[in-house]
Structure 1
Amino acid sequence: MSKQCNFGFNPGKTDAFNKFKNRSGGFMESLSQDYEGLLSLYEASHLGINGEDVLKEAMEFSVKHLKSLMGQLESDQADQVQNSLEVPSHWRMPRAEARNFIDVYEMDDTKSLHLLELAKLDFNLVQSVYQSDLRDLSRWWRDLSFVEKLSFSRDRLMENFLWAIGIISEPQFSKCRKGLTKFTCILTAIDDIYDIYGSLDELKRFTDAVDRQDLKIGRTFLIDNPPVAMDKLPDYRKICYLAMINFANELAYDALKDHGFDERGYSVNNGSSDCLKLGSELFYWSSLITRLSDDLGTSKAEMVRGDVAKSIQCYMNKVGVSEKQAREHIEGLVKDSWKKLNGECVKTSFPRPIVNMSLNMARTAQFIFQHGNGIGTSEGVTKDRVMSSFIEPIPIEEFDRTVMQQGITMF
């Protein structure tokens, strides 16, 4: 907990684990039959950074014995262990983990009914905020007319909103969630234009139009100063271009209205540049995990359709190994990148919300691409996750409400 909260924690100091070791320096074999203790040890080991060898030992010890215990556990316990071995809790998207943990806790014989119902109520209340966000976004998406005018592009409002919830789930940050969703929707359309639809000549003209336009937030006035290069674009390109510009101006307007910050004419100075440099490693490792997770989930399908080589294929070509070996290597890079990201989270001077968003971007990428291309399709696992995250509330039975009322009366 000290490590997760960055509270009084000294990087590399792992003395707390020594009490679980024997005189020869290894972990005590008496721990090997305690599945809950092993699971806690395993989860804690994923908060490690480079140089913390004891956490590496803890991971190897806990994985070995958890796997050996699988056949002896009850079905719900075995499922919990299997889920953790696949994706440790430190790597999980917060809202999805909240929903999953409620289900796990409900099966616990020692559960507190009051605490359980409060958790359900909290989840449903936060979900209602997401539904309000989604109503606003649905109107915006419909008015944008991308579905009709850019029919070749992916219609992925719900999936992109899931991304935004993963990155910033707190109910009070609706405006940020909606902004992230809009950005991702527009970016998805631009990505599809470049990848699958636009001709080389059209792509050059679109790039030229963007290069010619002053895209500094708040300095684009299309009514008074329409970009000359825009006239050469086909209609579907103009719609996408204007959506991008209008979104940038919307951000500038909100910054001025809500924070009194006029971004017109704003440029990156030495101070802000130095600040970004100090945090560049935090963003780099988060982005690398996102990129590699994407490759692990989408490379097979994208190679079939003739897309560019991903990290897996690049490693196969460079070293001359099988696809399975290449995937294992990339998975190893993801694990190493998490250690680097953990280290940056401990030493960064950025505010905690920025740190959390960086962590959550990596977590959400692994969540989205865990079972394949979670953005390329809206069916299967992706649909189930969308429904459970912000469409379907957790049922609260009449008996449970009675228990809650009694509990509230007691307080």
Structure 2
Amino acid sequence: MEQTTNYCNAHQHDETHIGRPLAHYHPNLWGDHFLNYTPPDEITQRQREEEVMALKEEVRRKIQGVSENPKERLILIDVVEQLGVAYHFEDEIEANLQHFNMRYSQDDARYEDDLHFVSLRFRLLRQHGFYVSSDVFNKFKTEDGNFKESLIEDAVGILNLYEASYLRVHGENILDEAVVFTTSKLRALVDQLSDPLATQVSQALKLPLHKGVTRLLSRYYISTYEAEPMHDETLLKFAKLDFNLLQTLHLIELRDLSKWWRNLNFGTKLPFARDRIAEVYFWMLGTFYEPKYALGRQIFTKLYKMTSVMDDTYDAYGFFEELQVYTDAVQRWDKNTMNQLPDYMKLTYEALLDTFVRFEQDLANQGRSKLVPYVRELMKAQCRGYFQEAKWCQEKYVPTYDEYLNDAAITTAGYTLMSGTTFLGMGEFATTEAFEWVTQTPKPVKASCIIGRLIGDMASYKIERKRDHVASVVECYMKQFGVTEEIALKELHNIVEDAWKDLNKEMLRPTTFPRPLMTRILNLSRVIEVFYRLGEDDYSIVSQNMQQKVQLVLIDPIVL
């Protein structure tokens, strides 16, 4: 492996950069843009809110009074969800899907051979946790077991089968086959299609709906839906106004978080760390964007930024002996231990402890401050995981894939910590029992950790080779199984897909804990796919891809 620095064997304890494994991360892209955000004046804002409320009731009546035609009802629900406004109509959508689930085998016979209808019904029910059998797709196969070639004449149907197939669980071979079949056919078809369907297919091939995040998907879909000749003007206007209204709320939150981050002065005093407050907030919006989760967003963003700086300290700056002392200090969680730390570590250590004190104060108003210690213990575990990787690096040890997955990946993926952190913002759903459960890294959290770490490693391992860095999961897999890099990447991709099947199964009713909690774990996995799916590390590296996503969700309002 190429090495450009001598991190592992460095024994200096000065504050210079000499011998440190600097990653040379790009500076913050956005300057003071979010820090200086000015929201609309109070009168304008109130007028917008009143207009949205009036349109919301019109849309509600449309959902409640939708045609008895089952296909039209499904399409309306799907449109509402893809436009990003379903959070307003959770009860109405649940009632409709309960009806579809109860009448699953009794729906209008004229649709039993309609691939669009069968696939859409399957996907919507599975998305909401209803188990329905994938055997419904057998009718679209020939006697020799292959999907009918004639289906290529139904591009909309193939697209919907493609989207439905990503809700698969283990043992559903027909959906595994459907992924391959539909991906191949859509790639062949996309250049022959006209918009808006061509755009939908192109976006789906990059990232299926099930692995996307609502705010980004809805921004894309609003444009697509507007291009539909038969779109509902009231629904479209409501979606546009609601998107902009939410964007205003999110920008106010990001402004305040940017002030918090600026006051910490990490960007100046710790130039080795990634200065990514806007990107972290975007990450968090993928986890929960709804207005009622404002406190959750604040807690999540702050803790993620603290964890990110800690990650960079272990990964891209600290000498091994410094990291050992820092790890011990975090385990003690006592400001009296600060004197043992180098000056740059004192800064992050004090901020970490102060941030947790503020969490306790914020949650005390809800009588929930007793839950913060659970997350504090997860932070300590995260730190131990980082140190394990630093130890492997210092010893120049390449672990086996099994060691890596069990000893480091589950911890340092951060998703046990992040799952627990999101729970802090979930109000009454997050009980003591839920926190005790999540700290044990149960199956859905483990699946999320695997997705997060493997996808992240596959996106960043080539860059990390340019400096002295712990072996990536790619190299660990190659070592254990004696395979080429190409085969390792293919097999790791399959392992990620298996983890998605585990997660999909855990989301089926009845879930272990309320669906709003389980959805946070699911959404954390979705964000990883959005940041890393195209093989780029969109968090560490300033990419045009990431800039565009932040621009769409947090800078540019939708033109009405």
TM over 0.5: yes
> 1: distance between equivalents of 2:284 and 2:470?
27
> 2: distance between equivalents of 1:297 and 1:174?
31
Structure 2 matches for 1:32-71, cutoff 5 A? 32-71=152-191
Residue 5 of structure 1 pairs with residue 118 of structure 2: no
- Please state how far the C-alpha of 1:116 moved relative to its aligned partner: 1.7
> Residue type matched to 1:253 in 2?
Q
> 2: distance between equivalents of 1:105 and 1:211?
52
> Residue type matched to 2:522 in 1?
L
> 1: distance between equivalents of 2:142 and 2:522?
34
Query: Retained in 2: the 8 A contact 1:285–1:338?
Result: yes
| Residue matched to 2:283 | 163
> 1: distance between equivalents of 2:368 and 2:540?
39
| Residue matched to 1:98 | 218
| Residue matched to 1:363 | 526
Query: Retained in 2: the 8 A contact 1:92–1:367?
Result: yes
| Residue matched to 1:312 | 474
- Please state how far the C-alpha of 1:207 moved relative to its aligned partner: 1.8
> 1: distance between equivalents of 2:226 and 2:435?
49
Structure 2 matches for 1:99-118, cutoff 5 A? 99-118=219-238
> Residue type matched to 1:281 in 2?
K
Pick from 471, 474, 483: which aligns with 1:321? 483
| Residue matched to 1:234 | 342
- Please state how far the C-alpha of 1:321 moved relative to its aligned partner: 3.3
| Residue matched to 2:240 | 120
Alignment TM-score, normalising by the size of structure 1: 0.85
> 2: distance between equivalents of 1:112 and 1:173?
29
- Please state how far the C-alpha of 1:4 moved relative to its aligned partner: 1.1
Q: SS at 1:51's partner residue?
A: coil
| Residue matched to 1:247 | 355
| Residue matched to 1:77 | 197
> 2: distance between equivalents of 1:311 and 1:78?
36
Structure 2 matches for 1:228-307, cutoff 5 A? 229-259=337-367, 261-262=369-370, 275-276=437-438, 280-307=442-469
Q: 1:270 to 1:121 in 2, by over 3 A?
A: closer
Q: Deviations over 1:344-375 (max 9, x none)?
A: 11153211112111111111011112341111
Alignment TM-score, normalising by the size of structure 2: 0.63
Q: 1:28 to 1:155 in 2, by over 3 A?
A: same
- Please state how far the C-alpha of 1:395 moved relative to its aligned partner: 1.4
- Please state how far the C-alpha of 1:119 moved relative to its aligned partner: 1.2
> 2: distance between equivalents of 1:281 and 1:66?
33
> Residue type matched to 1:360 in 2?
N
> 1: distance between equivalents of 2:552 and 2:544?
13
Number of aligned residues: 381
For structure 1, the residue ranges without an aligned partner over 5 or more in a row are 215-225, 397-411
- Please state how far the C-alpha of 1:75 moved relative to its aligned partner: 5.8
Query: Retained in 2: the 8 A contact 1:279–1:350?
Result: no
Q: Deviations over 1:214-241 (max 9, x none)?
A: 6xxxxxxxxxxx42x2112222211111
Q: Deviations over 1:283-317 (max 9, x none)?
A: 11011111111112111111122322211222233
Q: 1:278 to 1:52 in 2, by over 3 A?
A: farther
Query: Retained in 2: the 8 A contact 1:279–1:348?
Result: no
Instruction: After superposing the two structures, state which structure 1 stretch, 338-347 or 257-266, moved more.
Output: 257-266
Residue 394 of structure 1 pairs with residue 544 of structure 2: no
Query: Retained in 2: the 8 A contact 1:159–1:378?
Result: no
Pick from 295, 301, 305: which aligns with 1:175? 295
Pick from 505, 511, 529: which aligns with 1:343? 505
> 1: distance between equivalents of 2:435 and 2:290?
29
Q: SS at 2:465's partner residue?
A: helix
| Residue matched to 2:267 | 147
Query: Retained in 1: the 8 A contact 2:240–2:558?
Result: yes
Residue 193 of structure 1 pairs with residue 357 of structure 2: no
Identity of aligned residues (%): 36
> 2: distance between equivalents of 1:377 and 1:105?
32
Instruction: After superposing the two structures, state which structure 1 stretch, 197-206 or 42-51, moved more.
Output: 197-206
Q: SS at 2:263's partner residue?
A: helix
Q: Deviations over 1:94-142 (max 9, x none)?
A: 2111111112212222222322222111111111111011111011111
For structure 2, the residue ranges without an aligned partner over 5 or more in a row are 1-123, 378-430
| Residue matched to 1:406 | none
> 2: distance between equivalents of 1:18 and 1:64?
19
Query: Retained in 1: the 8 A contact 2:359–2:372?
Result: no
| Residue matched to 2:104 | none
- Please state how far the C-alpha of 1:62 moved relative to its aligned partner: 2.2
RMSD: 2.6
Q: Deviations over 1:4-25 (max 9, x none)?
A: 1114x35xx2343244345665
Q: Deviations over 1:221-269 (max 9, x none)?
A: xxxxx42x21122222111111111111111122221235545888999
Q: 1:264 to 1:91 in 2, by over 3 A?
A: closer
> Residue type matched to 1:81 in 2?
V
Pick from 332, 352, 375: which aligns with 2:515? 352
